[in-house]
Every structure is written in structure tokens, then in C-alpha cells.
A and B are shown apart, each in its own frame.
Chain A
Amino acid sequence: MRNLKITLWVVAIALIESMFGTYIKIGEIMPDLLFVFVLCYAAEKNTVSSTITVSVICGALADCFSGRIFGNNLAIFLICAVLMWMIKENIFKSGILVSLLLIFVLSVFGKSMYFVSNISVLKNVGYLYSLFRIILPEALFNTVISAIMLPLLRLTLKKRSGLYT
């Protein structure tokens, strides 16, 4: 049942992102919903194996939709999800505000990685421009979306015992 719920989440987010992505833009910037979902899932102290599985599936989906080299998003999603899981597991164990802050920081980190990995084809654009005009606004947007997504995810994936395994 839990796996079915996660699958439904992923499919719904993937469809929303690919079909409505351009309609939820603010100031020409749109959030990366699949990336937000992966970070939210990792922040919710799920098992590391399920965190890796979800991040790989979502990363692969993002790569399939992107039309670009396969593996670029997958690698970034995976690294950021594992980092989020480790930080939540070992350093900051609870608190939604901490999760939101980490989502913001990891969004900046992940999208900076994306910029670096695509630098050869991003014409006439420097890192500072990208940071202030694309990466930071997107990270902020991602954080706002995650503030809505986190409680919803917590609600739908919560086990009766109230604990995750």
C-alpha cells in the first residue's frame, strides 16, 4: 500500500511537472517538483534503501523528460537525497524548519552541480548570473513548494504506528 502511494505521488508529480511546468512559473522560474519530492522524501527519515530507490526513479524520470543526456539529473538527485538522508539521520533529526532550510541549501547545491555539468552547452551565461537569476530563485521556489509538500507527504505516507521504517 505504501509503495502504491509513493508510486502515485511520483506519477502525479511527473505529469504535473511535464504538463503544467510552464504554467506554474513565477518570474520565468519554475520549481523542480520531482527534485523537491526526492528531498522531502529523504527528509522524512525513510530507510536509506527506499530513499535511494525513489531518488533514482525520480532522477531517471527527470532525465527522460528533459530531452538531454541521460544520467545528469539521476546523479544529482541521488547525491542530494543521500546527503539529505545522512544529515537528517545524524545531525538534525527533526523539525520541519530544518528540513526546509536543508531543501533550500541542497537545491542550490544540486542546481549548481547541474550548471557545472552543462557548462559546455549553456551559452553566454556565467555562474553568478545563474546563481542569482536561476539557482537561488528556483531554490526559494522549491522551498516554498516543499513547505506544502512535506506535510502532505507526511500525512499520506504515515504508518498507523506513526513511525517510519
Chain B
Amino acid sequence: MSFSKKRVWVIVLAIMIATVALAYLSRNGTNPVSKAVNSVITPVESQLSKVIHPVRKVFSYIGKMEEYEAENQRLKQENIELNARIKDVSTYKEENERLRKLLGITNEYEYETVAARVVSYETDNWFSYITLDKGTSNGIDVSDTVITSDGLLGQVTEVGVNWAKVSTVINSESSAGVRITRNGEIGIVEGDTMLSKSRKCRLGYLTANASIIAGDILETSGLGGIYPPGLPVGKISEISKDNMGRLDYAIIEPFVNFDKLYEVVVITGWSVPQAAEIPVDTIQPQQEQPEENQPEAVNDENQNVG
């Protein structure tokens, strides 16, 4: 190997050591290089996205005209059914408010929010992150919850002055504490690399004697204090059983359409309400629960349970 080639590898090694050092120094926060680059790039992307989003919407609409027509018919039918249910719901709402007052939980669902625009999407085939055009100057902070009109989108993992990175619920690094609306069972929705390709995630860690069926609706439980409670997450699309016929895991189809993300809402300043403390004994991995219909526990020390 000639001197120049040796020098090449020395330079490569030096750069890699410097990179590792930089990554290590900024392990607890956003990297300074990342902050600087995103602060410059995001406004450009934001301006471009203002032009590009309407064009995308038009093409998306033309491409799915038939689908929208069918959806319109279905929604009309649903509207008729929902109108019939309004009377029942208003009765429950009154009762709910009355009971809440009784329990002293008054502000649980009153969040401060910031509207933001999605300016860029994931850039690799492994992880699902998006970038928003708002940051600390708008009150957004790391760990803030991000939602769309459909439901939970994810959590802010990095933030700069005018940008924020969001790890979506289908990301393999994400997990969220959820409750099944039908029966109140709690569990954990986790991202899964294989399922994320089809924009899905998996449900595990259900409580003892949990019963789930395809079509069950999930909402955030608030347990763990990362996500506020009551945010729609998705529905169970498939239940997988192991060779013994026991519940292995359930596949969740999130309500959020990850291919049509334009505007989102960031919930800022939410803190754990006193009523949402984790009853630790209610969340147990499956290995420790030999009963039937228990999901397999997927243990990962890196996960955050919201």
C-alpha cells in the first residue's frame, strides 16, 4: 500500500472517530450539525411543500376518484346511522361530564396545541420519521405528541428552532400504551420493521384474561405518561395465534394515513394527570402468563411506553 493510500485510510479513520465522538457528545439531545442543517433546509422544504402539496392532492384525487365516490356513499350511510346515535351519545356525554366532575378530573382533555405542516418524509426503508415545519419557537419540545384528524401519529424525537422530527407509531423504535375501547383492556402498540412496510404495527402486552377481536378500536391509555389518554390509534386487523392456538400478537392498522400526511397537530405542554398512574401489576409479559389468549410479550429495553 503506497503512502497516499495509507493516508486515505488515516483520513477515513479520523473522520469516523470524529463522527463517533460527535454522536457520543450529542447522545442526549439533537446533534449540532443536524440542528444547523435542518434549520436551513426545513424552511426551503416548507416553501416548496406549499407548492407541491396542492399538486399532490390533485393527482391523488384523480387517481382515487372511484375510491372516493364509494367512500362518499359509505359516509352518507354512516351519517344516517350516526345521526340516529347522537341522542344516545349526548346522554352518555352528560353522564361522563357529571362523573368527571365528581372525580375532579376536569382538564384532562384540554391540551395546548400547535398546528404544523409536514415538509419531509422518511428517507430510508427501515425507519419511519417525518419532519414538521414548526419547532421550539412555536413551543414544540421533544416528547410532544403529534396527532392528525384521524388519530395518533407519533412523538417528537428531535427539535430545532423551526423544525421537529417525529417518530411515527409504526416506527420500530416506537411504542404506545393503548386501551381497547370495547372492553377497556390495556396493552402496548409497538412498531415492527416488517409490518411498517405495510403501514401497520403490532399489539402486545395485554393484561391477564384479555379478550380481543378483529375490528376492536384502540385508543391511547395515557399509562406511562408519554401520550395523553383517549387519542384514537387504530383498529385490530388480524390476530395471530401460535402453534398451541394461543394468542401470539395482533396486527394493528393505524387510523392515520401515512401516505397522505399534510397538516398535523402537536400537543404541547401535556403532563401526566394524577388519575393516570400506571398500575404496574396490570402489565405483564406473556411468558409469565400461561393462560390462554395471552399475547406474546415483546421485550425491548429501548422502548418508551406512552
Where the two chains meet, the residues of A that have a C-beta atom closer than 8 Å to any C-beta of B are 14-15, 17-19, 21-23, 28-30, 32, 34, 48, 52, 56, 60-71, 74-75, 78-79, 82, 86, 114-115, 118, 120-125, 129-130, 133-134, 138
Is the CB–CB distance between A70 and B26 below 8 Å? Answer: yes
Where the two chains meet, the residues of B that have a C-beta atom closer than 8 Å to any C-beta of A are 4-5, 8-9, 11-12, 15-16, 19-20, 22-23, 26-27, 31, 33-34, 37-38, 41, 44-45, 48-49, 52, 56, 119-127, 129, 131, 157-158, 165-167, 172-173, 190-194, 197-198, 202, 259, 298, 300, 302
Chain A residues lying within 8 Å of B121, measured Cβ to Cβ, are 18-19, 21-22
Q: Which residue of B lies closest to A114 (CB)?
A: B126
* Residue among A65, A74, A114, A134 facing the most chain B CB atoms (10 A cut-off): A65
Is the CB–CB distance between B19 and A70 below 8 Å? Answer: yes
CA distance A47 to B179 in the complex (A): 58
Task: Name the distance in Å between B48's Cβ and chain A's nearest Cβ.
Answer: 6
Q: Which of B27, B33, B120 contacts A18 (CB 8 A)?
A: B120
Is the CB–CB distance between B192 and A65 below 8 Å? Answer: no
16 pairs of residues in contact across A and B, judged by CB atoms under 8 Å: A18-B41, A18-B123, A19-B49, A19-B120, A28-B125, A29-B125, A32-B124, A48-B8, A52-B11, A64-B31, A64-B34, A66-B127, A67-B167, A122-B193, A123-B193, A125-B192
Chain B residues lying within 8 Å of A74, measured Cβ to Cβ, are 15, 19
Is the CB–CB distance between B37 and A68 below 8 Å? Answer: no
Q: Which of B131, B167, B298 contacts A123 (CB 8 A)?
A: B298
Q: Which residue of A lies closest to B44 (CB)?
A: A15
Interface of B is mostly: mixed
Is the CB–CB distance between B302 and A70 below 8 Å? Answer: no
Task: Name the distance in Å between B171's Cβ and chain A's nearest Cβ.
Answer: 9
Is the CB–CB distance between A124 and B37 below 8 Å? Answer: no
Is the CB–CB distance between B49 and A71 below 8 Å? Answer: no
Q: Which of B19, B129, B131, B302 contacts A120 (CB 8 A)?
A: B302
Chain A residues lying within 8 Å of B125, measured Cβ to Cβ, are 28-30, 134, 138
Task: Name the distance in Å between A80's Cβ and chain B's nearest Cβ.
Answer: 11
CA distance A70 to B5 in the complex (A): 27
Q: Which residue of A lies closest to B45 (CB)?
A: A19
Chain A residues lying within 8 Å of B192, measured Cβ to Cβ, are 123-125
CA distance A89 to B249 in the complex (A): 52
CA distance A78 to B11 in the complex (A): 10
Q: Which residue of B lies closest to A28 (CB)?
A: B197
Is the CB–CB distance between B190 and A123 below 8 Å? Answer: yes
Chain B residues lying within 8 Å of A60, measured Cβ to Cβ, are 33, 37
CA distance A134 to B125 in the complex (A): 7
* Residue among B9, B192, B197 facing the most chain A CB atoms (10 A cut-off): B197
Chain A residues lying within 8 Å of B166, measured Cβ to Cβ, are 67
- Answer whether A62 and B123 are a contact pair too, CB < 8 Å, given A15-B44, A67-B129, A79-B12: yes
Q: Which residue of B lies closest to A27 (CB)?
A: B197
